[in-house]
Amino acid sequence: MSDTPRTRVQGTQGRSVLLDVRGLRKHFPIRGGILNRVIGTVQAVDNVSFAVREGETLGIVGESGCGKSTTARLLMHLIEPDDGTITFDGRVVDKRDRAALRDMRRVLQMVFQDSYSSLNPRLPIEETIAFAPWVHGIPKREARDRAHRLLGAVGLEPATFARRYPHELSGGQRQRVNIARALALEPRVVVLDEPVSALDKSVEAQVLNLLVDLKDAFRLTYVFISHDLNVVQYVSDRVLVMYLGKVVEVGPVDQIYANPRHPYTRALLASRPSMNPRQRTTEAPLTGDPPNPINPPSGCRFRTRCAFAEGVCSTAEPRLAASDAVGGGLDAHMVACHMLAPDSGHSKTVLASNTA
């Protein structure tokens, strides 16, 4: 790995939309009682829409129960949505269209948080990596050659590592294998679900550097899911903030971090421990825990923890709308908050538009 400063692809504006998600919804029923009836639903993902452009990294950030991992699984069609459409490269992916689904699964790959449970413990890692290409009709020897090349690309010397089993590797090495496995089918999009959360800090930095290198080398598009705001800021071009199954804010990374508009995003950013012991946090930005996604609050789901909540917040659900006059399109900074909607009836709306 070279130490030259990375040049970020600045203009992804003109690129085409690769993945388009509209109105995605997934509710999990909870059964109970003697008749095993549905006694509630976990509203894991509720009316989530976003688009990912070719070559960009979309970060999805939020706390536990916000639906970020469910979103990843829906993207991969590991679970079927109750409602909504996922369009990949202009083609609607539906479970009834087996061919479209199979094509999509090849070009959309996923890396999970737990590097150990996502590798087959009984296979040497070269075979784990070569397995998918072999299943997709590539001769065994060729698939193994590809596995060796990929091991090299993720920084594991094939001569040393190819025949090793997952338990013989460290956590960081295992995550590298997972990344190599995800790349084996030459995907266009990689969904990374908390890929560095289980790693030590010193190893986390190695894997983040690797992900950046691979993105350039293989011209990948990333959907990067994490609870770590600093990591998301580091890797993402655009960021989607989720709370209890809803998108509360989305926009270019610099906009979100320098000028967060939704009260939840502001609180989330202010909750990061200060890296400066001379300036410690003196007050917690929020009280309480995120509510249970079973039967979430009416109206705005954040209102139970929001300092600005008013009557309108419990009756009407805020719509995701452009927060300022910068304009629409994919690079718009969108916020779902009544305070930023001029006609919502919230008393702070005037104030908000003045400071905009």
Partner 1 sequence: MQQPSPVPDSAAPLVDVVDLSVRFVSKDATVHAVNGVSFQLTAGEVLCILGESGSGKSVTMRALLRLLPETARISGQVRVDGRDVIAMAGNELARLRGGVASMIFQEPMTALDPVFTVGQQIAETIVRHEGTSWAEAEKRGLELLELVQIPSAKRRLASYPHELSGGLRQRAMIAMALSCRPRLLLADEPTTALDATVQIQILLLLRRLQEDLGMGVIFVTHDLGVAGEIADRVAVMYAGRFIETGPVVDLMEGPLHPYTQGLLGSTVHGGMRGQRLTAIPGSPPSLSELPTGCAFAPRCPQAMDVCQTSEPTERKPRPDRTARCVLVEESIQAA
- Binding mask 234-253 vs partner 1 (x if CB under 8 A, - otherwise)? x------------------x
Work out whether 281 is an interface residue with partner 1 (CB under 8 A).
Answer: yes
CB-based contact 204:171 (threshold 8 Å): no
Per DSSP (E only), the strands in 151-245 are: 189-193, 221-226, 238-243
Q: How far is the CB of 134 from partner 1 (least distance, A)?
A: 30
Q: How far is the CB of 237 from partner 1 (least distance, A)?
A: 10
Work out whether 44 is an interface residue with partner 1 (CB under 8 A).
Answer: no
Q: Classify residue 321 as exposed, middle or buried by CB count within 10 Å of its CB (0-12, 13-18, 19+).
A: middle
Work out whether 15 is an interface residue with partner 1 (CB under 8 A).
Answer: no
Of 76 and 207, CB closest to partner 1: 207
Query: Using the rule CB under 8 A, which residue among 98, 275, 327, 329 binds partner 1?
Result: 275
Of 5 and 14, CB closest to partner 1: 5
Please choose, out of 16-24, 26-34, 107-115, 208-216, the segment that lies near partner 1 by the rule CB under 8 A.
Answer: 208-216
Query: Using the rule CB under 8 A, which residue among 40, 285, 297, 299 binds partner 1?
Result: 285
Binding-site residue total for partner 1 (CB under 8 A)? Answer: 52
Q: How far is the CB of 267 from partner 1 (least distance, A)?
A: 6
Of 122 and 201, CB closest to partner 1: 201
Query: Using the rule CB under 8 A, which residue among 206, 255, 265, 349 binds partner 1?
Result: 206
Please choose, out of 76-84, 85-93, 137-145, 289-297, the segment that lies near partner 1 by the rule CB under 8 A.
Answer: 289-297
Q: Distance between CA 171 and CA 21 in Å, rounded?
A: 33
The candidate with the shortest Cα–Cα distance to 57, out of 231, 272, 243, 185, is: 231
Contacts of partner 1 in 106-165 (CB under 8 A): none
CB-based contact 25:46 (threshold 8 Å): yes
Q: How far is the CB of 205 from partner 1 (least distance, A)?
A: 3
Work out whether 331 is an interface residue with partner 1 (CB under 8 A).
Answer: no
Q: Distance between CA 337 and CA 353 in Å, rounded?
A: 12
Query: Using the rule CB under 8 A, which residue among 96, 98, 167, 280 binds partner 1?
Result: 280
Residue in the structure block whose two tokens are 């990929």: 150
Please choose, out of 17-25, 145-153, 179-187, 228-236, the segment that lies near partner 1 by the rule CB under 8 A.
Answer: 228-236
The candidate with the shortest Cα–Cα distance to 62, out of 249, 310, 236, 300, is: 249
Which strands form 57-61's sheet, in the order they lie side by side?
A: 108-111, 189-193, 221-226, 57-61, 238-243, 246-252, 334-335, 321-322
Contacts of partner 1 in 160-189 (CB under 8 A): 170-173
Measured at the CA of 262, the angle between CA 259 and CA 263, to 5 degrees, comes to 105
Of 203 and 326, CB closest to partner 1: 203
Work out whether 288 is an interface residue with partner 1 (CB under 8 A).
Answer: yes
Q: How far is the CB of 239 from partner 1 (least distance, A)?
A: 12
Which strands form 37-53's sheet, in the order they lie side by side?
A: 37-53, 17-32, 83-88, 91-93
Work out whether 229 is an interface residue with partner 1 (CB under 8 A).
Answer: yes
Residue in the structure block whose two tokens are 């990843």: 72
Work out whether 201 is an interface residue with partner 1 (CB under 8 A).
Answer: yes
Measured at the CA of 15, the angle between CA 89 and CA 187, to 5 degrees, comes to 45
Q: Classify residue 19 as exposed, middle or buried by CB count within 10 Å of its CB (0-12, 13-18, 19+).
A: buried
Q: Distance between CA 316 and CA 341 in Å, rounded?
A: 12
Work out whether 297 is an interface residue with partner 1 (CB under 8 A).
Answer: no
Q: What does the binding site for partner 1 look like in residue numbers (CB under 8 A)?
A: 3-6, 8, 63-64, 170-173, 200-206, 208-209, 212, 227-231, 233-234, 253, 257, 267-268, 271-278, 280-290, 292
